[in-house]
């Protein structure tokens, strides 16, 4: 792995972890947004998308556990599941916004986290990947 890839990996992964952790906390606490814009992942945005409030707890727990999994060393299979979970959560949020004809501004946080997920997954170090052995 080149030094450039390491830098890209850690920048993308840290921003991904911060974004997922902060929205996970917002979802666990089921915070209400203030003002006219929807805070990403909060109670108002989730009900706007048509989901019941109880999914906030589930999404919040998944995000926090995913962040821990992505950041700790080893456990490559578990990391694949965490990245897949992030991908499904963010792509689902984007498609929910598209279905409601929301603006790009409303779906931007989910789109950014999806891009960070893909970049972090793609450039991750070899010791964080599943190694397949030919038998």
Domain map (residue ranges) of the chain: 3-128
Mean pLDDT of the chain: 89
- Write the pLDDT tens digit of every residue in 69-103: 999 988 999 999 999 999 999 999 999 999 999 99
Is the pLDDT at 1 greater than 80? The verdict is: no
Is the pLDDT at 34 greater than 70? The verdict is: no
Burial class (CB in 10 A: 0-12, 13-18, 19+), 51: middle
Please compute the mean of the pLDDT values over residues 32-48 and round it to a whole number.
66
CA distances from 90 to 15, 58, 84, 135 (A): 15, 14, 10, 36
Please tell me the pTM assigned to this model: 0.86
């Amino acid at each position: 792995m080149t030094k450039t890839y390491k830098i890209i990996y850690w920048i993308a992964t840290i921003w991904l972890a911060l974004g997922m952790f902060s929205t996970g906390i917002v979802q666990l606490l089921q915070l209400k947004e203030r003002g006219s814009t929807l805070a990403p992942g909060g109670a108002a945005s989730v009900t706007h998308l048509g989901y019941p409030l109880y999914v906030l707890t589930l999404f919040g727990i998944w995000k926090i556990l995913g962040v821990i999994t992505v950041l700790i060393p080893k456990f490559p299979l578990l990391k694949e599941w965490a990245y897949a979970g992030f991908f499904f959560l963010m792509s689902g949020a984007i498609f929910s916004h598209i279905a409601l004809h929301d603006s790009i501004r409303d779906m931007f946080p989910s789109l950014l986290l999806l891009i960070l997920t893909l970049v972090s997954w793609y450039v991750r170090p070899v010791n964080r990947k599943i190694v397949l052995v030919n038998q």
